[in-house]
């Protein structure tokens, strides 16, 4: 039974680790749970696929902007109180989505939901940096990533069955329940981890200094953009795949949800590799391997699409290679970006998250702008994002290693 008062568990305990995993996964769960319902929203809300995809894109843009608020606030006031406010707002926004009666109302609800949901990942990553420090954060994020692999596998399966049994609103009821459980967990289990809270006022000058420190670091850009572009490839897949698999290839929502297991197998493999090998080979070598795998998977998918072949295997197998690389990139990219900035870890996590979600939102908008008659637009965007991640890491991090202190 959860203790709502009294001493909290140790920050490195299993219960806090599970809570941090849930916090970091909140964005993924909120994105993937309703993906199997996207085609049905077209008919249910009397709209079209482009507007339905805006429910995903606006969530991602809200997620991006909100992080710029929560990160600096947590550096000033602490992680715990800001988390409590953010998750409470998330529950309220999820309720609004549940009762939306028009596509415009759902888009507005998803924007608000994204602006609140980002409190979980941005502060969860900052707490990992607070607790595990610069040297152990990559390994901790890798093993959180192993657990995170469950959410994009299980959430679409749950969402598919909720769609079949109850309709699209059930997915948002599910998110309300998840939000309440996380809110109780933060209250009962999490102690304050920010040892560098600033007693001074939060003002534009102090924020400007923090952002200046981050944005003057080429390595920070390199790690952050590698994460952002790889995640954008995943969101391009999320925006395009339900229409391809359900409308073009004839799968049902539940069958489509089950396909997520294959992508998660790739992500799980990459996360396990990052957890086991990062301390031996270092963050940069692992990231080089990760972005190379993403480029191979994205390039193969685009080449197959250009050849005119379409089928489940022709899409899922290259995407498994991409997600294996993504598992390596996310764990090491987050750790590499945050490691040099213990005093502004919240702000560093926020800026990284803003880039991640802004680029991902743009990718989903581009995919959503095309009528889904083949997988080529989706595959092309995934290939481009993989190439951009590879170039950003190689130019801004790998080629400048000799210029950075060891």
- State the pLDDT at residue 343: 74
Half-sphere exposure of residue 286: CA atoms within 13 angstroms, side-chain side: 30
| Residue in the block written with tokens 């609800």 | 109
- State the pLDDT at residue 276: 77
The answer to whether 13 and 114 have CB atoms below 8 angstroms apart is no
The answer to whether 45 and 168 have CB atoms below 8 angstroms apart is no
- State the pLDDT at residue 196: 65
pLDDT in tens, 81-121: 999 999 999 999 999 999 998 999 999 999 999 999 988 88
- State the pLDDT at residue 405: 47
Q: DSSP per residue over 104-119, as a string?
A: HHHHHHHHHHHHHHTH
Find the Cα–Cα–Cα–Cα dihedral 298, 277, 228, 253, rounded to 10°: 60
248 DSSP 8-state letter: I
CA distance 52 to 224: 29
3-state SS assignment for residue 86: helix
- State the pLDDT at residue 392: 93
59 DSSP 8-state letter: H
Residues of the chain with pLDDT under 70: 1-12, 133-135, 137-139, 141-143, 145-150, 152-153, 196-207, 371, 402-406
- State the pLDDT at residue 115: 92
- State the pLDDT at residue 293: 95
Domains of the chain, with CATH numbers? Answer: 14-194+207-400 (1.20.1250.20)
**pTM of the predicted structure, to 2 decimals:** 0.72
- State the pLDDT at residue 147: 63
- State the pLDDT at residue 2: 46
b/e code 26-50 from CB counts within 10 Å (16+ = b): bbbbbbbbbbbbbbbbbeebebebe
- State the pLDDT at residue 218: 87
- State the pLDDT at residue 1: 39
CB atoms closer than 10 angstroms to residue 145: 26
The answer to whether 227 and 356 have CB atoms below 8 angstroms apart is yes
């Amino acid at each position: 039974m959860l203790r709502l008062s009294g001493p909290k568990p140790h920050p490195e305990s299993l219960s806090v680790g599970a809570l941090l995993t849930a916090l970091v996964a909140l964005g993924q769960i909120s994105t993937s749970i309703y993906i199997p319902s996207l085609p049905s929203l077209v008919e249910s809300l009397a709209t079209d696929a482009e507007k339905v995809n805006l429910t995903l894109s606006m969530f991602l843009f809200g997620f991006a902007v909100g992080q710029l608020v929560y990160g600096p606030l947590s550096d000033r006031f602490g992680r715990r109180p800001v988390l409590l406010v953010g998750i409470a707002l998330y529950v309220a926004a999820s309720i609004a989505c549940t009762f939306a009666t028009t596509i415009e109302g759902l888009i507005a609800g998803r924007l608000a939901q994204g602006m609140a949901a980002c409190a979980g990942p941005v502060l969860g990553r900052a707490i990992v940096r607070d607790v595990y420090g610069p040297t152990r954060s990559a390994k901790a994020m890798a093993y959180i990533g192993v657990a995170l692999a469950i959410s994009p596998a299980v959430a679409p399966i749950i969402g598919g069955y909720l769609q079949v049994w109850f309709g699209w609103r059930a997915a948002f009821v599910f998110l309300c329940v998840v939000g309440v459980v996380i809110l109780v967990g933060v209250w009962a289990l999490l102690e304050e981890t920010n040892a560098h809270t600033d007693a001074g006022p939060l003002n534009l000058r102090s924020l400007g200094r923090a952002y200046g420190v981050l944005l003057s670091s080429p390595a920070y850009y390199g790690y952050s953009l590698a994460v952002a572009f790889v995640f954008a490839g995943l969101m391009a897949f999320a925006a395009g795949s339900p229409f391809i698999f359900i409308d073009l290839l004839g799968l049902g929502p539940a069958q489509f949800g089950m396909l997520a297991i294959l992508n998660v197998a790739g992500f799980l493999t990459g996360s396990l590799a990052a957890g086991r090998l990062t301390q031996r080979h270092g963050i940069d070598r692992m990231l080089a391997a990760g972005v190379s795998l993403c480029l191979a998977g994205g390039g193969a998918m685009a080449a197959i699409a250009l050849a005119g072949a379409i089928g489940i295997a022709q899409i899922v197998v290259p995407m498994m290679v991409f997600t294996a690389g993504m598992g390596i990139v996310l764990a090491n990219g987050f750790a590499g970006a945050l490691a040099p900035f213990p005093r502004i870890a919240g702000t560093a996590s926020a800026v990284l998250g803003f880039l991640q979600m802004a680029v991902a939102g743009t990718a989903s908008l581009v995919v959503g702008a095309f009528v889904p008659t083949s997988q080529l637009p989706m595959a092309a965007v995934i290939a481009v994002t993989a190439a951009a991640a590879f170039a950003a890491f190689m130019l801004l991090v790998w080629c400048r290693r000799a210029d950075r202190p060891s």
